[in-house]
Amino acid sequence: MGSRVARGVLLLALVIVQTGCGPRSRYHADAPVNQQVPWGSAAPRPPGAPYSGPVAPPPLPAAAAWGLSCSADSQCLLHRCNAAAGRCSFPCQGPADCATGSICMLGVCAGIPWTANATPQVPPQGAPGAPPLPGVDYDYRLALKLSPVPFSPWAGDELGSPHLRDVMSHTQDRWPMQNGGPSTAAHETLHQIHAEMGNTTSEHDAFVYLEQGQGAFVAEPDLVLARVRDWVPAGARELANSRYRLYLIEQAKSFTEVLYLFDEWGAYVGNGRVSVEQARGGWYQAGNYQVDEVDGMVDFLYFGSAAMLAVRQLEPAYFHGNEQLKAVFAVLAESTMRWYSEGIRVPGFQGFHAEELMAHFTSSPENAPIRAMLREWYGSTWTQRLFGFS
């Protein structure tokens, strides 16, 4: 990965030279995305580790539970009825599976908030057609303000991952596939998209690309990134040590924005998703290596959560009532759980620290403050559905 690092440093230097005092560049060329080790050498910690929480969280509701029979679109809420199959098109694969005026996001057809009228038309998550979840679930789709990202056709081979094509088709300055493969290309290209979108506004904000030409801006707090490290519990610092040191200590010396963590989080979700999609079809190639493709997103679930606790405590006027921050955190958390839950079952992605870190997140005593913050912010139905704690 040395060449990636060298190229990253070069790119960063070029960006600095090119932009000078002009528009802010927010391209963060970072160090290696993933760790890889020879097969068989990545192994979870032995039994007796101090955390005894669930090893893996419950997966999001399975398609089988939601693939309701239908004969007309109206029975599928925002999804279309696949008449040939006699079932609602869930999870959706693209816009063709969704009703006009909605988009397919994370497998669920969602209303587009800026065109929705004042009365929410979007069913709560857990839908369509599913029995209502107990209590009141949080639905980010009702609050999330999306922004379109310009389409830029890409002639490359998606190699089993529609999300790779999606990402690579939303900037002209895409990372070369030959430099690290599809996972790295997706990760670094997402940073590029985030930077380009960030440069379209003079606001002090961050941008996170989601999918299908849609992403979201979030205003930055005044808090500086370096303060966040103290809010990550000691056990999590240890488990996520390499990325904790890289992003919360080393990078925090030069990058001050707290939501740089969302930039990275979105990039890690993206590269993990690409790898999982590739693994589904047998496209993933790592030779004789195991690769921690889904560990990065779990690290950033933790770092991002710690950042939210920090801003809630230190900058309450920014945090409270900030519906866009709340919605963007939620969509990152939901997509993390979706792709982690599937990806951690891929043998080549197992054996690093993600499972133990997730157990620490959901059940360790020292993470109780973050769990309490999430419960208060979203409600226990949401935390139970997503993480298995209430």
Among 24-32, 43-51, 116-124, 249-257, the segment contacting Zn ion (CB under 5 A): 24-32
Per CB under 5 A, which of residues 343..372 are in contact with Zn ion? Answer: none
- Tokens representing 314? 């230190």
Looking at the chain, which runs of residues are DSSP E strands? 36-38, 81-82, 87-88, 102-105, 108-111, 147-148, 205-211, 214-219, 289-291
Q: State in angstroms the smallest separation of the CB of 166 from Zn ion.
A: 18
Q: Would you count residue 299 as binding Zn ion (CB under 5 A)?
A: no
Rounded to the nearest 5°, which phi and psi values hold at 337? Answer: -65, -35
Residue closer to Zn ion (CB basis): 123 or 266: 266
Rounded to the nearest 5°, which phi and psi values hold at 244? Answer: -60, -45
Nearest by Cα to 312 from 260, 262, 258: 258
Q: State in angstroms the smallest separation of the CB of 51 from Zn ion.
A: 27
Among 125-133, 261-269, 286-294, 356-364, the segment contacting Zn ion (CB under 5 A): 261-269
Q: How far apart are CA 246 and CA 230, in angstroms?
A: 15
Rounded to the nearest 5°, which phi and psi values hold at 104? Answer: -90, 115
Residue closer to Zn ion (CB basis): 30 or 299: 30
Q: Would you count residue 30 as binding Zn ion (CB under 5 A)?
A: yes
Q: State in angstroms the smallest separation of the CB of 195 from Zn ion.
A: 11
Q: How far apart are CA 34 and CA 174, in angstroms?
A: 19
Among 25-33, 130-138, 161-169, 297-305, the segment contacting Zn ion (CB under 5 A): 25-33
- Residues that bind Zn ion (rule: CB under 5 A) add up to a total of 3
Q: State in angstroms the smallest separation of the CB of 30 from Zn ion.
A: 4
Q: Would you count residue 257 as binding Zn ion (CB under 5 A)?
A: no
What are the residues whose beta carbons fall under 8 Å from the beta carbon of 253, sequence distance 6 or more? 226
How far from each other are the two terminal CA atoms of the chain, in whole angstroms? 41
Q: State in angstroms the smallest separation of the CB of 281 from Zn ion.
A: 25
Q: State in angstroms the smallest separation of the CB of 274 from Zn ion.
A: 14
Question: At 157, is the secondary structure helix, strand, or coil?
Answer: coil
Nearest by Cα to 140 from 210, 187, 196, 191: 210
Among 65-73, 92-100, 142-150, 265-273, the segment contacting Zn ion (CB under 5 A): 265-273
Residue number, nearest CB to Zn ion: 30
Among 48-56, 260-268, 285-293, 304-312, the segment contacting Zn ion (CB under 5 A): 260-268
Question: Is-contact 110 127, C-beta < 8 A?
Answer: no
Q: State in angstroms the smallest separation of the CB of 304 from Zn ion.
A: 14
Among 23-31, 55-63, 135-143, 145-153, the segment contacting Zn ion (CB under 5 A): 23-31
Residue closer to Zn ion (CB basis): 127 or 267: 267
Q: State in angstroms the smallest separation of the CB of 184 from Zn ion.
A: 9
What are the residues whose beta carbons fall under 8 Å from the beta carbon of 78, sequence distance 6 or more? 98, 99, 102, 109, 110, 111, 122, 123, 128
Per CB under 5 A, which of residues 317..336 are in contact with Zn ion? Answer: none
Q: Would you count residue 267 as binding Zn ion (CB under 5 A)?
A: yes
Nearest by Cα to 106 from 339, 367, 387: 339
Residue closer to Zn ion (CB basis): 67 or 343: 343
Q: Which residues bind Zn ion (CB under 5 A)?
A: 30, 264, 267
